[in-house]
């Protein structure tokens, strides 16, 4: 982790505009409860199953549902309080900040919020969503991750968290005018604005309409990410652009439980939201489980809309990106095969352009394809599908794939990666897309994304290299190609 530090707000800039050439990765989890049944588990095991996901993020945040205090429980039937030493467990796991604005924040009476903040601060964790006055509780906490300023806010939309009363610290509540002012302040002083929102109907797996209405307002006021918690079950993550201005917002109305001891259906499975921020905004959603107590990461889900290949994995694109037009070039006569698509680029990342050609040619038996049924390799004209890299000056082959089980019908050579679209042997319609990463002796394909898609290239993560895209995918409306 990069060790974000608290920063004084500075003048506004486009998201990630002053980053040193690379994107910032933000990771969000749902409700974390360290008291009651969880407190009986081995502390070092609680987050060990996340498999380095927390450590790989530049900034990791979750919602603290258990007050950290030694005071006796006073409010409600659910005693969720945890020992203040549990803050060290969160720090060792890799959390940088925790939202405390929720309905359980004051369950041990006056002084509970202050106890939690002292415990978190002592462990080096930033507490978000509390203060001595309503305005102070809502004030954005701006942290620097590299040269990127991230503003964090957290709000209790249940109305049940303890408000500041002049003598005890309280949590930020949903008060529309104050929230709007706080988000706009954050927008003016940070590159990325993140708002945690605690509320919604409990145990409902569909999108909470109240949370979504608030998220749309937050998007209009300037939030880049709205990260919800409270219902204890995960709900769908979506992208909203209520103003239609192209500055879309990633919204998770509920990420469910990251760690809890509840036994109701779906409460032992939650979601992680990871957001990559540069000039663009990419995101992905992962699944976590804690059926036997400690959290286990089950992997990232494939995006359903426009996507980008980053770090060997697919991410969803939340905003349009400046696509680099692929240079199409005719293949000279005499080429050994019928050309389907051809373009110039550097998909093997050696610093030199190649002519990348998808083609079909008459079936030729090899030691490999002879082991497969010919019907799975040959089209109606007796041809097999191939992709090759050729020296543009004289068409000398530099690498040619053996017989492809999935014919490539379109392609875009990026930097060290090739974006491809697949058809079937019987037709030319796009049925799936993928990205091939160069592995030194050949390409390593990423998981296939089923359905339509258009291969393209753009620098999404700001490292100066072109990343592979799959655009014009459904069911979400295509983001378009901003140039």
DSSP characters over 163-229 = PP-SSS-EE-B--HHHHHHHHHHHHHH-SEEEEEEE-S-TT--SPPHHHHHHHHHHHHHT-SEEEEE
224 CB contacts (<8 Å, ≥6 apart)? 15, 192, 193, 194, 247, 249, 250, 275, 277, 281
**If you ran DSSP here, which 8-state letter would residue 62 be given?**
E
Nearest 10 degrees: Cα torsion 357, 359, 364, 367: 50
**Is 133 in contact with 164 (CB distance < 8 Å)?**
yes
Per-residue pLDDT tens digits of the chain, which is 483 residues long = 444 544 433 333 333 333 345 789 999 999 999 999 999 999 999 999 998 999 999 999 999 999 999 999 999 899 999 999 999 999 999 999 999 999 999 999 999 999 999 999 999 999 999 999 999 999 999 999 988 999 999 999 999 999 998 889 999 999 999 999 999 999 999 999 999 999 999 999 999 999 999 999 999 999 999 999 999 999 999 999 999 999 999 999 999 999 999 999 999 999 999 999 987 899 999 999 999 899 999 999 999 999 999 999 999 999 999 999 999 988 988 899 999 999 999 999 999 999 999 999 998 888 777 777 777 889 999 999 999 999 999 999 999 998 898 999 999 999 999 999 999 999 999 999 999 999 998 999 999 999 999 999 999 998 999 999 999 997 544 343 332
Enclosing H/E stretch for 153: strand 148-156
* CA dist., res. 444 & res. 427, Å (int): 25
> From edge to edge, which strands make up the β-sheet containing 354-362?
327-328, 338-345, 354-362, 383-390, 397-400
Strands (E), 254-312: 257-259, 269-277, 281-289, 296-300, 307-310
Structure tokens at 447: 């998981």
CA pair distance 414, 310, nearest whole angstrom: 12
Q: At residue 78, what are phi and psi to the nearest 5 degrees?
A: -100, 110
With both helix axes pointing from N to C terminus, report the angle between 86-93 and 112-122 in degrees, rounded to the nearest 10. Answer: 40
Distance CA 187, CA 466 (A): 29
Instruction: Give the helix, strand, coil percentages of the chain, each rounded to 5.
Output: 15, 35, 50
User: Helix 209-221 crosses helix 176-189 at what angle (to 10 degrees)?
Assistant: 40
CA dihedral of 118, 119, 121, 124, whole degrees rounded to 10: 170
The tokens describing 394, both together, are 């004289």
What is the reported pLDDT for 475? 55
Q: How far apart are CA 184 and CA 174, in angstroms?
A: 15
pLDDT for 470: 98
For 94, counting Cβ atoms within 10 Å of its Cβ (0-12 exposed, 13-18 middle, 19+ buried), the class is middle
Q: What 3-state DSSP class applies to 127? A: strand
Say what the pTM is.
Answer: 0.92
Query: How far is residue 480 CA from its own chain's centroid?
Result: 20
d(CA 92, CA 213): 36
- Which pair of tokens denotes residue 128? 């978000």
Q: Which domains does the chain have, with CATH numbers?
A: 5-301 (3.60.21.10), 327-471 (no CATH)
- How confident is the model at residue 371, as a pLDDT? 73
Identify the pLDDT of residue 403. 87
Q: Which two tokens stand for residue 399?
A: 């690498």
Measured distance CA(483)–CA(320) in Å, rounded? 9
Token representation of residue 372: 């497969």
């Amino acid at each position: 982790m990069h060790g974000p530090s608290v920063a004084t707000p500075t003048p506004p800039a486009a998201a990630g505009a002053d980053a040193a050439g690379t994107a910032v990765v933000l990771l969000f989890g749902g409700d974390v409860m360290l008291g009651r049944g969880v407190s009986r588990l081995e502390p070092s095991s609680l987050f060990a199953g996340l498999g380095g996901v927390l450590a790989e993020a530049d900034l990791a945040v979750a919602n603290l549902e258990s007050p950290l205090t030694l005071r006796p429980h006073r409010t409600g039937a659910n005693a969720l309080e945890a020992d203040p030493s549990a803050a060290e467990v969160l720090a060792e796991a890799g959390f940088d900040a925790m939202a405390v604005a929720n309905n359980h924040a004051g369950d041990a009476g006056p002084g509970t919020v202050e106890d939690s903040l002292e415990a978190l601060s002592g462990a080096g964790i930033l507490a978000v969503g509390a203060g001595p006055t309503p305005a102070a509780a809502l004030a954005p906490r701006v942290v620097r991750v590299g040269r990127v300023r991230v503003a964090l806010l957290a709000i209790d939309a249940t109305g049940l968290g303890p408000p500041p009363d002049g003598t005890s610290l309280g949590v930020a509540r949903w008060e529309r005018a104050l929230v709007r002012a706080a988000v706009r302040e954050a927008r003016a002083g940070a590159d990325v604005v993140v708002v945690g929102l605690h509320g919604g109907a409990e145990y409902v797996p569909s999108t909470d309409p109240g949370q979504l209405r608030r998220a749309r307002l937050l998007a209009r006021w300037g939030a880049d990410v709205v990260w919800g918690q409270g219902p204890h079950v995960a709900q769908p993550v979506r992208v909203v652009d209520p103003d239609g201005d192209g500055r879309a917002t990633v919204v998770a109305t509920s990420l469910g439980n990251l760690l809890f001891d509840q036994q109701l259906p779906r409460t032992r499975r939650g979601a992680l939201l990871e957001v990559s921020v540069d000039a663009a905004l990419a995101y992905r959603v992962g699944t976590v489980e804690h059926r036997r107590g400690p959290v286990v990461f089950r992997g990232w889900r494939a995006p359903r809309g426009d996507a980008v290949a980053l770090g060997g994995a697919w991410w969803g694109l939340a905003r349009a990106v400046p696509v680099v037009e692929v240079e199409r070039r005719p293949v000279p006569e005499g080429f050994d095969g019928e050309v389907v698509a051809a373009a110039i680029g550097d998909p093997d990342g050696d610093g030199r352009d190649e002519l990348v050609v998808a083609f079909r040619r008459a079936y030729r038996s090899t030691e490999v394809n002879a082991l497969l049924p010919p019907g799975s390799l040959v089209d109606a004209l007796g041809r097999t599908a191939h992709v090759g890299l050729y020296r543009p000056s004289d068409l000398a082959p530099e690498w040619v794939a053996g017989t492809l089980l999935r014919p490539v019908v379109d392609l875009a050579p990026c930097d060290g990666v090739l974006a491809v679209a697949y058809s079937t042997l019987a037709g030319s319609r796009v049925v799936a897309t993928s990205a091939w990463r160069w592995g030194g002796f050949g390409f390593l394909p990423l998981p296939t994304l089923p359905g339509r898609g258009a291969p393209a290239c753009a620098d999404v993560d700001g490292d100066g290299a072109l990343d592979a895209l799959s655009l014009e995918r459904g069911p979400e409306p295509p983001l378009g190609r901003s140039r």
